[in-house]
């Protein structure tokens, strides 16, 4: 899974077949079905134009995409969020970050050992408590973000919900760049042994804090 994560970060458009081929080149005797199963467990999918980018829930409400043709030039106009897989020396966890689209500022982040919606809601509540409410909140159609707990936290505050649709895979490019910095400059170098160590990691905190400060410089 660590190798799959590195390959996906380097080639985010690779599907299970090409990732399997890369693993073969690295000496791993693994079949495509196993690669697919591990990718699903990690929450990893190839980024390319297709109807949906994340595993959605068939019973959750999907919202329209509101950013087409929209010029975003001020803070708190549009926020966005994403989740990434974090490998550790023993096991793995997930990191969610909420970013202001205009400033590229990380407003809040959380770690979790499951892919439920609660840690995403916690990050959202912290960001709103600290920075106020955005006008629009944009997400993909992943089940964490279409859950009632997450959408109700937005709707109850009058925040418009926007969800990526067909052909909008580039909308998370800013957070993808953040993930690349976090992993190459900290996660892959440190091989943290637990979530507790990860939360205390000085480099990780520095990288996320640097993103918080970037818009102020």
* Helix, strand and coil percent figures for the chain, each rounded to 5: 45, 15, 40
Of 181, 163, 183, nearest to 172 by C-alpha is 163
pTM of the model: 0.79
Output the pLDDT for position 31. Answer: 96
Q: Which CATH superfamily is domain 78-214 in?
A: Ribonuclease H-like superfamily/Ribonuclease H (3.30.420.10)
Of 87, 60, 27, 31, nearest to 163 by C-alpha is 60
Task: Give me the residue spans of the domains in the chain.
Answer: 2-42, 78-214
Output the pLDDT for position 201. Answer: 80
DSSP conformational letter for 115: -
SS3 at position 67? coil
Per-residue pLDDT of the chain (217 residues; tens, 9 = 90+): 999 999 998 888 899 999 999 999 999 999 999 999 999 999 888 865 443 434 455 555 788 989 888 899 899 999 999 999 999 888 899 999 999 999 889 999 999 999 899 999 999 999 999 999 999 999 988 889 999 999 999 999 999 999 876 545 566 677 888 888 899 888 988 889 889 888 888 778 778 876 655 444 3
CB 82 within 8 A of CB 172: yes
Output the pLDDT for position 215. Answer: 45
């Amino acid at each position: 899974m660590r190798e799959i994560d590195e390959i996906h970060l380097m080639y985010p458009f690779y599907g299970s077949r090409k990732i399997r081929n890369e693993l073969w080149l690295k000496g791993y005797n693994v079949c495509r079905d196993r690669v697919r199963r591990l990718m699903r467990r990690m929450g990893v999918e190839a980024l390319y134009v297709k109807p949906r980018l994340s595993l959605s829930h068939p019973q959750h409400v999907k919202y329209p995409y509101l950013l087409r043709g929209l010029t975003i030039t001020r803070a708190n106009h549009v926020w966005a969020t994403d989740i990434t897989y974090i490998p550790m020396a023993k096991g793995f966890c997930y990191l969610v970050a909420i970013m202001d689209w205009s400033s590229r500022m990380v407003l809040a982040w959380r770690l979790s050992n499951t892919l439920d919606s609660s840690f995403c809601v916690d990050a959202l509540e912290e960001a709103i408590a600290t920075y106020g409410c955005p006008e629009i909140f944009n997400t993909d159609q992943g089940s964490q973000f279409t859950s009632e707990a997450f959408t109700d936290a937005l709707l109850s505050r009058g925040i418009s919900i926007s969800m990526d649709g067909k052909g909008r895979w580039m909308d998370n490019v800013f957070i993808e760049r953040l993930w690349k910095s976090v992993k190459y400059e900290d996660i892959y170098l440190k091989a943290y042994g637990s979530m507790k160590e990860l939360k205390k990691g000085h480099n990780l905190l520095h990288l996320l804090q640097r993103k918080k400060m970037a818009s102020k410089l």
